[in-house]
Amino acid sequence: MRILLVGAGGVGGAFAAIAARRDFFEQVVVADYDRARAEKAAADHRYVAAQIDASSAEAVTALCRRHDITHVMNAVDPVFNMSVFEGAFAAGADYLDMAMSLSRPHPEAPYRKTGVKLGDEQFAVADRWETAGRLALVGIGVEPGLSDVFARYAADHDFSEIDELGTRDGANLVVTDDDGNEIFAPSFSMWTTIEECLNPPVVWAVDESGQGGWHTTEPFSEPEVFDFPEGIGPVECVNVEHEEVLLMPRWLDCKRATFKYGLGDEFITILKVLHTLGLDRTENVRVKAASGGHCDVSPRDVVAAVLPDPATVGPRMTGKTCAGLWVTGKDKDGAPRSTYYYHVVDNEWSMREYGHQCVVWQTAINPVIALELLANGTWKGAGVLGPEAFDAVPFLDLLTECGAPWGRREMST
């Protein structure tokens, strides 16, 4: 297996550090727009660094051909997904990503009806990938990714009937400045966070006639307090647009699928202010340049640029992050069951063991595991597939082997 890793930021850098401890691949080409960042991540003797423009499918194809790449691992912001996706296909390589192609809200009723959904552009060409015998494994980070693996495990082993597949994500992370004061510093890409949190959230639901479908709600809707395990405790979670809701119902029977994220009041207020001021916009606006004249910039790019790089906040971060799936329904004997499947990572541990903060590490471990399962033939497939399309047990076993065990907590019914 010869891997092209596109993106050497927080998650890409963590991917490189984790994969360096495994022996399932021949080479990883670490590519980034900033070659110096790629060189920093390419620390293993099996790694080489390269510069790439991820917005160019042709550049992705050319780099794949130059290095005889078999698998493209996409670790850049999802705005570049389709160019990396198309470049991998043109090169005859398999493809993995951790966030699917972007959505576009319904033009008339954005908070009731779906427009272009997450992943629609990729699923539209699934037949082409299947006919070519190529695999595009989409949404194989932590959320989406591990949560989808949990869904498959629950359906196969613990539940005979599923009412809701409810992804729940929360943390008690704190980032401080040099003087020890708590500061606002997102632990993941701010560009992606704005995209997820301000777009209309999508919910899957089966109606009274038994027909299932997707609909949207207002951002930050349906708040609930969820008690997260391993000392994190109660966190208010709200609806957020996310890929699990678009993936799980394609392979698994459920009456409802949701994604709720523990953002916190401060984060929600900041996101609302950004939206009110138009600073969440991706279209360029003309601004006065410091050196004179004018330049065109994207407001969202500016917001992301002025905040701390998520890859650098680890040494000033404390706490744990939890990703998980709350499943309700009936067990294999037909009795009511409510179970939370989860994965918790302590920032102190991930920094000590790998030198990467817990959120990016927790995201990056999952595509490494998926690639190893593909390399040894445990997972096989062609087309555009989500994690639900594969057996969950070998994935969860390997996750535990890598020193990051998952957990399961029975909830009251």
Count of domains observed in the chain = 2
By percentage, how much of the chain surpasses pLDDT 90? 77
Regarding whether 181 and 104 lie in a shared domain, the answer is no
- End-of-domain residue from the set 137, 165, 197: 137
> Backbone phi, then psi, for 192, in 5-degree steps?
-70, -40
Distance from CA of residue 174 to its chain's centroid? Answer: 21
Beta strands in 78-209 (DSSP E): 94-96, 135-137, 159-171, 174-175, 202-206
- End-of-domain residue from the set 120, 137, 154: 137
- End-of-domain residue from the set 101, 117, 137: 137
Instruction: For residue 189, tell me if it sits in a domain.
Output: yes
Q: Range of 30's domain?
A: 2-137
Regarding whether 312 and 263 lie in a shared domain, the answer is yes
By percentage, how much of the chain surpasses pLDDT 70? 99
Instruction: For residue 383, tell me if it sits in a domain.
Output: no
Tens of pLDDT, residue by residue over 293-348, are 888 888 888 888 888 777 777 788 899 999 999 999 999 999 999 999 999 999 99
Regarding whether 112 and 150 lie in a shared domain, the answer is no
Report yes or no: 248 and 148 within 8 Å, Cβ to Cβ. Answer: yes
The CA-based diameter of the chain, rounded to the nearest angstrom, is 72
pTM of the shown model: 0.92
- Please choose, from the candidates 182, 174, 195, 149, the residue with its C-alpha nearest in 3D space to the C-alpha of residue 408: 149
Rounded Cα–Cα distance for residues 12 and 8 (Å): 4
The CATH number of residue 214's host domain is 3.30.360.10
Tens of pLDDT, residue by residue over 232-267, are 999 999 999 999 999 999 999 999 999 999 987 788
> Backbone phi, then psi, for 75, in 5-degree steps?
-125, 35
Q: What is the mean pLDDT of residues 18-38?
A: 96
Q: Is the pLDDT of residue 185 over 90?
A: no
Instruction: For residue 374, tell me if it sits in a domain.
Output: no
Instruction: For residue 32, tell me if it sits in a domain.
Output: yes
Q: Is the pLDDT of residue 32 over 80?
A: yes
Provide the mean pLDDT of the chain. Answer: 93
Instruction: Answer whether the bond into residue 105 is a cis peptide, omega within 30°.
Output: no
Regarding whether 354 and 233 lie in a shared domain, the answer is yes
Regarding whether 254 and 168 lie in a shared domain, the answer is yes
Regarding whether 263 and 167 lie in a shared domain, the answer is yes
Q: 26 or 175: whose pLDDT is higher?
A: 26
Regarding whether 332 and 305 lie in a shared domain, the answer is yes
The CATH number of residue 37's host domain is 3.40.50.720
Tens of pLDDT, residue by residue over 36-95, are 999 999 988 999 999 999 999 999 999 999 999 999 999 999 999 999 999 999 999 999
Regarding whether 255 and 235 lie in a shared domain, the answer is yes
Regarding whether 174 and 66 lie in a shared domain, the answer is no
